[in-house]
Chain A
Amino acid sequence: MAAGAPGRRTAAAVRRGRTPWALLVPALIGLAFLVLPFAGLLIRTPWGDLLPLLSSAEVRGALWLSLGTATAATAVSLLFGVPLAWLIARTEFPGRRAVRALVTVPLVIPPVVGGVALLLVLGRSGLLGRHLYEWTGFSLPFTTAAVVVAQVFVAMPFLVISVEGALRGADRRYEEAAATLGASRWTAFRRVTLPMAAPGVVAGAVLAWARALGEFGATITFAGNFPGTTQTMPLAVYLAMQESPEQAVVLSLVLLLVSLAVLVALRDRWVGTP
């Protein structure tokens, strides 16, 4: 392993040697940078007033809205994202690589830009939204549905990338085996490929859910900030920060705990970390 090391002894000695400072110091600074904000949050939490603050209708409303919309966004992402991932991973068509690149665009553009783009397409005078409004009198922006749409826009790419990776990693010969047993492509996908890619699908869904839960920019641009209908937790935190920082701290704590709970609950079963 070690270049030029003649024997096992040298390799073992190298492994036992000191961790180099040049790596250790930046690593510890990095760790502190990631952990300290949470410590600050815990230290500044007004533990005494926690319950009354938490039980306020506003906080509860925002929390349920967040959990509900993030879950709905994850479900929508699964419904469309898994087939999209399959299309990219398992079929050959012209422009497949371009499609794959397009899917990742929402990952890199600022969410606010995504919100603006959604408004331009789905807004009351948008490309599609105009017709929707003319025919049904329904305008999507600034509704709870708009919150979900904004979250799907930013979260689905995570799911697609994760599922596509899992599908790519799955051995195609199992699909061939299923075919020789009489399975159509749809049956093979449903009963063989998807179960084999399940860990990747769940990991992608968790990522998408977490991303949807924390979504701010696209939501506030496309869905606005109306308590009860579109004001999710991140928006509530931001708003509370202007008026009563204490409440912002409590809301942040709740968001943190919910995220941690989900991660811990799923980690051992699905998101296997070595």
Chain B
Amino acid sequence: MSTEGGGARRGAPEGASGAEAAEPALDARIAVDRGRFRLDARITAGPGEVVALLGPNGAGKSTALRALAGLQPLSAGRVLLEGRDITADPVERRPIGVVFQDYLLFGHMSALENVAFGPRCRGAGRAEARAAAAALLADMGLEAYAHTRPRRLSGGQAQRVALARALAVRPRLLLLDEPLAALDAHTRVEVRAGLGRRLHDFGGAAVLVTHDPLEAMVLADRVTVLEGGGVVQEGPPAEVARFPRTDYVARLVGLNLYRGVRHGTSIEVDPGEGGAAGGARIEAASPGGGRVFAAFPPRAVALYREEPVGTPRNVWRLRVEGVERFGDQVRVRLGGELPLSADITPAALAELSPSPGAEVWASVKATEVECYPA
């Protein structure tokens, strides 16, 4: 189900160049039928734009990337790259560079030979290909490792060689499959910064597959969220983070999210939303109408043993279901008429001293509730 959701934003972003793109560099509709799994998604990227495909495992992100590369046959759809239809082009003739998840550097070749492989295959002379490869490796700060075999490279170095190898064929579209997943947490931060810089300098469109929201937020100009084989949300990272449209995205960006109907400033939450009983209400600051999403961050929730006085607009009597550490805060999971997560300080928790299953009062200021059309 290709989602043409009402609120999903599409088109060129306000890139660094400031130029509104007349047409996207990449305009693809890919449908892949694989038994019980069906992927049907429209993926676009403006010139110079980095698009992150974000989604849980099994959402079809990697399949989508393989389809763009031509490694996965389409059952329907087409791939337009800079106005040219490359749907029927075989992999080796697509102007596309791919950085694979485990890099897949050729173990029997040096770093230089790995990078020179692409230009050689595309008709460059031996000396020419090697010179181009050497220049790219130098750009990556790897000239000292030109003659090193991949297994002697560190994870971060291998990642850069893989990027250089993909860029060596001067692709018009760069595809990256979980480019940082193979790195340990410590190296990842550093390599991510370098990758971000190089993606920015690349100039062509880039599609990046990741399941890490932070990676998507930091590296991408636009985020396309895939779930169950379809696009469920699309937009600039800041917008996706602020206005999630599915429970998966809400969980990723750490918001309590509910669907419901707005009457004035009051939102009647749909029964069954996050396990909500019928009739739960959320008060927002501004009035409106129609079907909406209501979202508020866990840190906006305050918890009390006694019913709070001074009448905050949103007060629910809820049951404590679990408590876990969350950074320097404590995340309390609450069940009841409106299941939600609340982040409070350890001191506040000590004061509350809830036993499992204890009933507490939760309150949220109406001004903390984001309300946007569903």
Contacts and interface: CB of A to CB of B under 8 A. Distances in A.
A173 B92 contact: no
Contacts of A182: 92-93, 118, 121-122, 169
Contact of B104 (A174, A187, A195, A198): A174
B194 interface: no
Interface in A157-195: 171, 173-174, 176-184, 187, 191-192, 195
A180 B117 contact: no
Contacts of A117: none
A173 B104 contact: yes
Contacts of A196: 106-108
B97 to A, nearest CB: 7
B52 interface: no
B118 A181 contact: yes
Given A187-B121, A191-B117, A180 B108 contact: no
Contacts of A191: 117
- In this complex, the member of A174, A177, A191 whose beta carbon has the largest number of chain B beta carbons within 10 angstroms is A177
Contacts of B107: 196
B108 A177 contact: no
B121 A183 contact: yes
Contact of B165 (A174, A181, A192): A181
Contacts, number: 59
B181 to A, nearest CB: 15
Contacts of A183: 92, 117, 121
Contact of A192 (B91, B96, B102, B106): B106
Interface residues of B, number: 24
Contact of B91 (A174, A179, A187): A179
Contact of A181 (B102, B108, B117): B117
Contact of B92 (A174, A179, A192): A179
B159 to A, nearest CB: 14
B303 interface: no
Contacts of A177: 98, 100, 104, 106
Nearest to B124: A182
A180 B97 contact: yes
B349 to A, nearest CB: 40
Contacts of A195: 106, 108
A179 B121 CA distance: 9
A187 B117 CA distance: 10
A199 B269 CA distance: 65
A179 B107 CA distance: 16
B176 to A, nearest CB: 12
A171 B106 CA distance: 11
B106 A180 contact: no
A181 B169 contact: yes
Contacts of B92: 179-184
B71 interface: yes
A77 to B, nearest CB: 23
Contacts of A173: 100, 102, 104
A180 B98 contact: yes
B330 to A, nearest CB: 39
Contacts of A181: 92, 97, 117-118, 121-122, 165-166, 168-169
A187 B166 CA distance: 17
B45 interface: no
Interface string B131-164: 0000000000000000000000000000000000
Contact of A179 (B71, B106, B122, B168): B71
A177 B102 CA distance: 11
Contacts of B165: 181
Nearest to A183: B121
Contacts of B108: 195-196, 198
A169 to B, nearest CB: 14
Interface of A: 171, 173-174, 176-184, 187, 191-192, 195-196, 198
- Pairs of residues from A and B, 4 with the lowest C-beta to C-beta distance, nearest first: A181-B118, A182-B121, A179-B91, A177-B104
Given A173-B102, A180-B71, 19 more contacts: A173-B100, A173-B104, A174-B104, A177-B104, A178-B106, A178-B117, A179-B71, A179-B90, A181-B117, A181-B122, A181-B168, A182-B92, A182-B93, A182-B122, A192-B106, A196-B106, A196-B107, A196-B108, A198-B108
